[in-house]
A and B are shown apart, each in its own frame.
Chain A
Amino acid sequence: MTGWTDKRPMSPHVQVWRWHVTMLGSILHRATGSALYAGAFLVTAWLFAAASGPELYGQFEMLAGTIVGQVVLFGFTIAALYHALNGFRHLVWDAGHGFTPALASFVSWLVIFVAVIGAVAAWLLLGLVPGVDMSTLLTTVTGG
């Protein structure tokens, strides 16, 4: 790699390994973590807009309401859910459990699946999807 000044031997990089879902799970953990770095700017911007007054807050709301804003916020939901679920799994690993290959692969798929389905379900049930009102279903389910 150009610009690499470290002369010590390096460990094999991604192109050396056969693709596996646990590898995808690890890459996604880093990717979602990095995406949430940008998400921290969003949360800070929201707090700052609220502190600045109704005018700036209104502009923030308007931006969040655009298609791009909605896609970003939905991406933020998936990233947060995935990183939290996979992070919990890391804590289980730290305790020394869940390392058998079959189980590790299964949980990798499960975490990806639950993160995507969970984010879609949360947006639908909380009435965040424009034009789709499922909030009545939520009140029926929760009994409130």
Chain B
Amino acid sequence: MTKSIRTPLGAVRGLGSAKAGAHHFITQRVSAIALLFLVPWFLISLIGAVRGGYDGAIAWIGQPLNAILLVVTVGAALYHMRIGMQVVIEDYIGRTSTKAVLLILNTFVSVLLFAAAAFAVLKIAG
């Protein structure tokens, strides 16, 4: 009989794996791969866009393909950022209550930033 790696507590509960152990790891990597393509595009186009002042910026954001990619870039970046900061908070904040508050705040900030950025892009491109 093979030796089980299951803990006694796990055996008593008998629930099995939650099937989510690698979820955080994988989503961090998938968003990273997306950003390796999106961020160079964003930064290089951005430099061209801001050279033209307000009109240049509006014209660039207003192009449909740019607007779509902008929302995707901001979305992937904020998602990656949120789960990255989650690990930093979990690693360095020991007090459970402070940790919980910061984790909630991290989610709120990320979602708010995404809503503001997406609204701005859609207002210009819409």
Known: A3-B95, A88-B36. A126 touches B47 (CB 8 A): yes
Set of chain A residues within 8 Å of B124, measured between Cβ atoms: 50-51
Size of the chain A interface, CB-CB below 8 angstroms: 33
Task: Name the segment of B1-9, B13-21, B112-120 touching the other chain.
Answer: B112-120
Q: How many contacting A-B pairs (Cβ < 8 A)?
A: 83
* Interface contact A37-B57, CB-CB below 8 Å: no
Known: A44-B74, A47-B117. A37 touches B96 (CB 8 A): no
How many angstroms from the CA of A6 to the CA of B92 in the assembled complex?
12
* Interface membership of A114, Cβ < 8 A: no
Prevailing SS type, chain B contact patch = helix
Set of chain A residues within 8 Å of B53, measured between Cβ atoms: 57, 61
Known: A5-B96, A6-B96, A34-B88. A44 touches B81 (CB 8 A): no
Known: A3-B94, A87-B36. A50 touches B117 (CB 8 A): no
Prevailing SS type, chain A contact patch = helix
Which residues on B are within 8 Å of A, measured CB to CB? 29, 32-33, 35-36, 39-40, 43, 47, 50, 53-54, 57-58, 61, 70, 74, 77-78, 81, 84-85, 88, 94-96, 98, 113, 116-117, 119-121, 123-124
